[in-house]
Amino acid sequence: MTDLLRLLVVADGRVPRVQAAWRELEAFLGGQLGVEVVAVETGNSLDLSAFSADLVVVLGGDGAILRACRQMASRQLPILGVNLGRLGFLADLSPEEFRANFEPIRQRAYHVVQHLMFECILTPAQGTPQTYLGLNEVVISSGAALRMIDVQLAINGEPVTTYSGDGLIVSTPVGSTAHSLSAGGPLLRQDLQAFVITPICPHTLTNRPLVDGADCLYTLTMPDIPIGVILVVDGQIRVPLNAGDRIDIRRAPVAFQMAKVPGSSYYATLHRKLGWGGQPNYRR
């Protein structure tokens, strides 16, 4: 392979451990042939969609990958995450594993898996609609209201139910290992084309997580809403909600492209990250 492997690097300059890891990686890449770093994003301010690259290397945790996806907007490039955070379901490789696997990466031996992304359209009772691109989930949270809220769900215009509780999560399969999982939602294979709706602390015990198709339109409304309720997209965008606001969630026209090195798999990641390798010890 003689073609240059063009890399776009995302390394948050505000996080010391990320910058330290980038300095080490920069020195490593400087000694490799057939590699070009086209740009380094350190301030979460570059328009990543303006760059052409074979691979986006994101240093950090899953949150850094979520931000990078939004920065790429309609021009999604394959992302390889180098985990410097905690769990790291998306940022799967450690810095040491990245260096150990670099020759297959340089030879483009990785494969790219496309995953569902969503558009969240907030139509306020008064004001201009806003559209947010996301990868993990949309959350309506009671937040500072400190009281139970009622969220009405409709799918493709058909009323489904009203969830009463601390809020509601609409998650992609990628996001099923995040907030939805902690709220009791199911794990979905990341390449499934579906959404999961998970209530947060539902007051009605028969309200359980619901899985439906990715091509449906999910509409959330709250005719009566206390002050303090917020809309949260991917844990990073927070918007106050008011009575009469409508939230529509649908499949995005673009997909998240995850680069996987040889030998990695979804279930191997779950096994490692969730500690599925051990068995409970019932002996005292």
Domain match, 93 and 164 both: no
Cβ neighbors of 205 (< 8 A, separation 6 or more) are: none
User: Of these residues, 12, 54, 62, 92, which one is catalytic?
Assistant: 62
- 62 assigned to active site: yes
| H or E, element range at 97 | helix 95-100
Q: What is the CATH number of the domain that holds 135?
A: 2.60.200.30
Question: Which residue matches tokens 């139509």?
Answer: 123
Residue 163 lies in a domain: yes
Domain match, 122 and 221 both: yes
Residue 281 lies in a domain: no
Domain match, 131 and 249 both: yes
Question: 223, 225, 230: which is closest to 138 by C-alpha?
Answer: 230
pTM of the model: 0.92
Q: List Cα–Cα distances, 272 to 87, 96, 187, 257, 268, in angstroms.
A: 10, 17, 15, 22, 6
What is the per-residue pLDDT for 284? 45
Please list the rounded mean pLDDT of every run of 10 residues in the chain (284 residues). Answer: 85 94 96 94 88 96 94 95 84 92 94 96 95 98 90 98 96 96 94 96 90 98 94 97 96 96 80 71 48
Domain match, 100 and 131 both: no
Question: 132, 90, 38: which is closest to 257 by C-alpha?
Answer: 90
φ, ψ of residue 137 to 5 degrees: the values are -165, 160
Domain match, 23 and 123 both: no
SS3 109: coil
Range of the domain at 82: 5-110+261-273
Residue 161 lies in a domain: yes
Residue 160 lies in a domain: yes
What span, in angstroms and rounded, lies between the C-alpha atoms of 144 and 206? Answer: 26
